[in-house]
Structure 1
Amino acid sequence: MRARWHAVLRTPVGAGAGVLLFAILLLAVLAPVLWSDQANAIDTEHLLEGSTAQHLLGTDNLGRDIFYRVLVASRSSILLALIATSIAVFTGLALGCAPMLLGRRAGRLTTSVVNIAVAFPGLLLALFFAVIFGVGAKGAVLAIGFAGAPSFARLAQTLVAGISERDFVAAARIAGVGRFRILLRHVLPNIAEPLVVNATIGAGGALLAFAGLSFLGLGVQPPAYDWGRLMGESLNSIYVHPAAALAPGVAVVIAGLAFNLFGEAVAKGFGVPVLKGARVVPQPETMPAAPVDDDAVLVVRELRVTFPGPVTPVRGISFTIHKGEIVGVVGESGSGKSLTALAVAQLIESPGQVHASELSFLGAPLLGRVPSRSTADARRRLLGTSFAMVFQDPMTSFNPTKRIGVQLAEGAREHQGMSRRQAMARAVDRLRAVRIPTPERRARQYPHEFSGGMRQRAMIGMGLMGSPALIVADEPTTALDVTVQQQVLNLLEAIRTEDEVAVLLISHDITVVAQVCDRVLVMYAGRIVEDLPADELASGARHPYTRALLAAVPDLETPLEEPLAVIPGRPVDPSQFPAGCAFAARCEFAEDRCKTDDPTLTSHGPAHEVACWNPQGAPAWQARYLGHESIRTGRA
């Protein structure tokens, strides 16, 4: 924090604005103490006098020294502007965070109110509220505060919505952290910087607005005075005594510039403090009875994910993952892989809906209304300690305002009742377990100080803070070089081997899945089109889509003079699924039946199921060399 403040003040603009703002604030504190008597002294012998050696800026209609009155008025002008800014910020922040806290319907209503308020000019709103709250300093403060709230609310809504979609917020939801605590610990620290900057700049605007209301007679009332009141009182004599009106106007401009320039400097170097929340020590609860199949970790039956439209990107998939098993899910973008993982992790938010005839983790149902709060707490702790999620982008998976060790320790403190010291020791141990060098030092660093591979390993370490029975890894090797990819995959394999942890590995790279996994689920258009052992993938894949995916992977024998193999056509729009097989329009083996009847998964050997009316029997690798011109060139 200190270093970032130094960064603000090292710039010429930051240093100059900081010194000027400090001087103005110091003046606001000391001026009434030092010069109130001179400012209020009435001298009837020198009424409306111009600039003299005794009165630097002249006197008003009662002979009071204008220079001292401008100095003394700095306290009321700045204090009232800061109070109005605080009202605007806190009211705007409450309105901006309402959609996240109140849910869909109340959030929409709040957003509509804010949108309507933003459409009105700020000065018009201020005059409107000034009429409602009445003439005087109190009414003007409330008027300016509430008039400025809509702009802060709009900013807060945008910022909160952006942070709410980040992976570290999704991880907090998986851990069972409540909405309000997520807001305090994860969202507000990440939006504090732009809010502080805009509040600093907004203080300058509030100062000008307040001076305007006082100038119009709606703000500070006699015998009190501020800069706006002084300008209003000097208006009648502006042609014969311009200094009386000019001096408070110059004071408003200088103070406004100080706030605005300092806000611009803060935008470049200000750091965000980390908020701390209270630790909740969970009490032991009895979990639901164990499943009949003690070896099953995750059971999914007829899982469907729908969105308004209607859009159904996941259409009735079923699979089971057993203890110590690595199951890979492959398919093109839009095939429903990540949505399946998010549905399992309970991270599909409204208006999305998840339906399944069965969705259970370690025997505990994950769907349906929970019968009691104790059962809800037990489910939350189950997901928080036994379910680990490794997201695609490790940079967005961590809260950038918190140290790595603190983020890893949070789950242990939340669900395992550890003290701060115990949780941090556990975090260091988990960083060591995922092969991060000097874990004690690394635990005190921020995410941006880690390389991409180290962030991904740290993300896996976060999942190991409890005793995970399942790790869902959604594209864990994206944007990593091949060496680091192999390290991450080896780490997952080691974790599986040592602790019998089940892994659901989602990837676009079918060759990676073939090397690492025990079983492969091939998804297309929201359905599983083939389920087969990984060691049979290269030679035994029977669905044309699986074979096309394999054929599209180049190797050392791929002819350099020929175009790379591609799958013709485009994936199906999830809002407009055709009749019959969704892959029929791209499949060179499609028959008339494929375009009218939708195939279901049927057995084609031990642990091998295919959803195809015309499954192919030749080894998949032959697709590259048997003259399948459509796959080679992309022509349907």
Structure 2
Amino acid sequence: MDGNRRRGLRAALRTPTGLTCGVLLVLFVLLAILSPLIWGDAAEQRDIEHLLEGGSAAHPFGTDNLGRDNLARLLVATSPSLALAALSIVVAAVIGVPLGALPAVLGRRGARAVTAVIDFLVAFPALLLAIFLAVVLGVGAPSAVLAIGVAGAPGIARLTQTLAASVADSDYVAAAALVGVPRGRVLLRHVLPNVAEPLILNLTLAIGQALLAMSGLSFLGLGVQAPSYDWGRMLSEGLGRIYVSPAAALGPGIAIVLAGLAFNGLGEALAESVRGRPARVSQPAPPPPEHTGDADPVLTVSGLTITFPGGLTPVRGVDFTLRRGELVGIVGESGSGKSLTALALAQLVPESAVVTADSLRLLGRDLRQPADADTRRLLGTSLAMMFQDPGTSLNPSLLVGRQLAEVAEVHGGQPRGPAWQLAVDRLRAVRIANPQRRARQYPHELSGGMRQRAVIGMGLMGDPKLIIADEPTSALDVTVQQQILRLLRQVNTDREAAALVITHDIAMLGQLAERVLVMYAGSIVEDLPTWALDAAAHPYTRALVASVPDLACDRDEPLATIPGRPPLPHEIGAGCPFAARCDRAGDRCRTDRPPLRVLATGHRVACWHPHHTENGSRP
């Protein structure tokens, strides 16, 4: 049990409800263990001279029809009563947890089919379904356990589905899909471990409900059968004599209520403590070297368009090429389509999205086709995807080294030992001190900068030819940002891998990238060398550059801003999407969309009225 769970348990036990129910539950568990050893013989001893007696000094709760002491039997019945309830929850969990987790890893159609099954099963009242199944399966404790387990499985499946859905969209699950981890492994290692805590809390609550259900079936004669007994059967036997010997019926009834309250109360206290627990949560970089490149591009994108149901098109006709060793930045306001473009390259867009392109090739392989095993292997080893928040990119329930080693195991076929050693070497390569120790820690034990370095190290577990970094420094302080930027540049240079860096910070790209792609409303509006940013041709690019403050700006003047807001996908019309915010827009800008045209060597712009460049050239 880690420190967070210990603190949560202590917080729950500090509350009056949690402490009371915790003490009760401990007493019941001790009774279940010790009562057969201490009172087992007394509970089975028959005395034909004292049949069906009321309460007395010798028998405080009276005797049954065989003269056995009811108090001893009540204490001994703690063991089967709790054991059968817990066993029925195990059956429910074995059925319900996998069923509820399946939609998180299945395709759209499979997820809908499983969800429909869960919805259908949840519609039946659990207790009535348990009674029906107990009658069909036959009377007896095993049938009752199975009936309660099957009847409780839909509720657990619905709970698991809800919890798993909150994890399925996490970056570390997307990363596992990117490296081609099988769906079953994604489920067992990335989804279920991260919903285990709330599941266990709810299963604790469910034991109390299962105890009531099992006692009810035994009371009806469908559960435990003579000569065995539990609290439900004792309640049924004592009810007929409640006016003569009330203790015979009240004893098991009180035991059922107290045990149910103990499970429910402790579960609620634990859940409340979890809900109230806080979540776990320089000098400029050297200028980039001149790019020599080679003839064959690493990535070719032409006419990339992404459409969602309803006709929403957040990415429209994106064109660019990346060559070996080239570092290119994509910049633009939120909602411009930067991250969605990157996800399309890695085949990680939502299933509801439709991706079309005239050309979409990575190392010569066409990515427009559904991913087969070879394509997944290519994406898992030749494409390194670094997501925006390293805290969500790493699975919080797995060791850092284990997550890195998984890439080498899945795609490299390496045994666990060599894969682990490679993971440690990669952590050392990204300048993490004491990598052996850090590899055996969980992500929450690392600082933000260390987590980002670990994510970069994960990308280096294969042999990446293309590195995509989505806002790699957004959650880091300025000093650590510079370290991460240097590391990205070093990886790009040492491995001669093409790199695509997505950011809002155009000033950062000025120190890092060789080329900048400026996106607006889902399209590239300008593609220019970094050194030419101050002489940008598109009004939007110029506005972005002007909005970056520097030491020479007049502090008495307001900061430069871009009036208005970017259009939403459904608001983009036939003309230039920037026209409503542009002081150079004319009539043609509002009716005709400008194509991305060559302005000069290495410089393209999509504008009908671009600014003059330094040499005064115009398209």
TM over 0.5: yes
Q: CA deviation at 1:380?
A: 2.3
Q: Residues 159 and 441 (structure 1 numbering): CA distance in 2 closer, same or farther, change over 3 Å? A: same
Q: Which residue of 2 aligns with 1:427?
A: 423
Specify which of 456, 475, 484 is matched with residue 488 of structure 1.
Answer: 484
Query: 2:524 corresponds to which residue?
Result: 528
Unmatched segments (≥5 aa) in structure 1: 270-291, 371-375, 620-636
Distance 2:558 2:116 in 1: 53
Kindly state the Cα deviation for residue 218 of structure 1 after the two structures are TM-superposed.
Answer: 3.3
> C-alpha displacement at 1:22, in angstroms?
5.3
State how far apart, in whole Å, the 1-side matches of 2:216 and 2:409 are. 52
* Residue 601 (structure 2) aligned to one of 601, 606, 609: 606
> Given the alignment of the two structures, is residue 231 of structure 1 paired with residue 235 of structure 2, yes or no?
yes
CA root-mean-square deviation? 2.5
Residue 563 to residue 618, structure 1, CA distance change in 2 (3 Å): farther
Shift of 1:599: 1.1
Q: Matched residues in 2 for 1:444 and 1:130: separation?
A: 49
Counterpart for residue 285 of structure 1? none
Which AA in structure 2 matches 1:315? R
- Could you say which residue in structure 1 is the equivalent of 2:283? none
Segments of structure 2 that go 5 or more residues without pairing to the other structure are: 275-292, 615-619
Q: Does 1:325 align with 2:330?
A: no
Do the aligned partners of 1:8 and 1:265 also contact (CA within 8 Å) in 2?
A: no
Moved more, 201-210 or 575-584: 575-584
Distance in 2 between residues matched to 1:576 and 1:4, nearest whole Å: 47
In structure 2, distance between residues paired with 1:60 and 1:47: 6
Partner of 2:246: 242
8 Å contact from structure 1 (residues 49, 59) kept in 2: yes
Shift of 1:20: 5.2
Q: Please tell me whether residue 543 in structure 1 is matched to residue 544 in structure 2.
A: no
TM alignment of 1:334-353, pairs within 5 A: 334-353=335-354
Matches within 5 A, 1:82-93: 82-93=86-97
Does residue 214 in structure 1 map to residue 218 in structure 2?
yes
- The answer to whether the 8 Å contact 2:579/2:589 transfers is yes
Q: Deviations over 1:404-448 (max 9, x none)?
A: 111111111222233323222222222122111222222221111
Alignment of 1:433-582 (within 5 A): 433-539=429-535, 541-582=536-577
Distance in 2 between the 1:102 and 1:438 partners? 39
Q: Structure 1's 127 and 576: CA in aligned 2 closer, same or farther, altered over 3 A?
A: farther
CA–CA distance in 2 between the matches of 1:589 and 1:112?
55
SS of residue in 1 equivalent to 2:315: strand
CA distance in 2 between partners of 1:178 and 1:217 (Å): 47
Greater shift after overlay, 320-329 or 568-577?
A: 568-577
Q: How does 1:105-124 map to 2 (within 5 A)?
A: 105-119=109-123, 121-124=125-128
* Larger mean Cα displacement after TM superposition, 23-32 or 472-481: 23-32
Aligned counterpart, 2:181? 177
- Alpha-carbon distance, 1:147 to partner: 2.5
| 1:381 aligned to which of 377, 382, 388 | 377
1:71 alignment partner in structure 2: 75
Pick closer, same or farther for the CA change 1:421–1:102 going to 2, 3 Å.
closer
Q: Which residue of 2 aligns with 1:142?
A: 146
Q: How far is 1:215 from its partner?
A: 2.2
Q: 2:557 and 2:201 mapped to 1: Cα distance? A: 56
Correspondence for 1:355: 356
Secondary structure of the residue aligned to 2:361 is strand
Query: How far is 1:207 from its partner?
Result: 0.6
- Partner deviation per Cα, 1:514-559 (whole Å, 9 max, x = no partner): 22111111111111111111110112x1111111212222222333
Amino acid at match of 2:566: P
Identity of aligned pairs, percent? Answer: 59
Q: Is the 8 A contact 2:294 2:323 kept in 1?
A: no
Which residue type is aligned with residue 166 of structure 2? G
Residue type of the alignment partner of 1:575: H
Does the 8 A contact of 2:294 with 2:324 survive in 1? no
- Say which SS state the counterpart of residue 296 (structure 1) adopts: coil
Q: 1:17: how far off?
A: 6.1
> Offset of 1:400 from its aligned partner?
0.7
State how far apart, in whole Å, the 2-side matches of 1:76 and 1:297 are.
66
Task: Give the TM-score taking structure 1 as reference length.
Answer: 0.87
For 1:529 and 1:2, how far apart are their aligned partners in 2? 51
d(CA) in 2 for partners of 1:90 and 1:214? 23
Contact 1:9 1:18 in 2 (8 A): no
Structure 2 counterpart of 1:47, which letter? L
Residues of 2 paired with 1:232 and 1:334: CA distance? Answer: 66
Report the secondary structure of 1:67's partner residue. helix
- Alpha-carbon separation, structure 2, partners of 1:503 and 1:5: 41
Task: Give 3-state SS (helix, strand or coil) of 1:614's partner.
Answer: coil
In structure 2, what is the Cα distance between the partners aligned to 1:519 and 1:77?
71
Retained in 2: the 8 A contact 1:9–1:15?
no
Please say if residues 101 and 192 of structure 2, whose CA atoms lie closer than 8 Å, have aligned partners that are also in contact: no
CA distance in 1, matches of 2:498, 2:107: 34
Encode CA deviations 1:458-492: one digit per residue, 9 max, x unaligned: 11111112221111000001121111111111111
Partner residue, 1:594: 589
Distance in 1 between residues matched to 2:564 and 2:584, nearest whole Å: 14
Whether 1:200 aligns to 2:204 is yes
CA shift, 1:52, in A, is 2.1
Counterpart AA for 1:314: V
Q: CA offset at residue 608 of structure 1?
A: 0.7
Asked whether 1:585 is paired with 2:580, we answer: yes
Which residue type is aligned with residue 607 of structure 2? C
Aligned in 2, Cα 1:124/1:576: closer, same or farther, shift over 3 Å?
A: farther
The CA deviation at 1:16 is 7.4
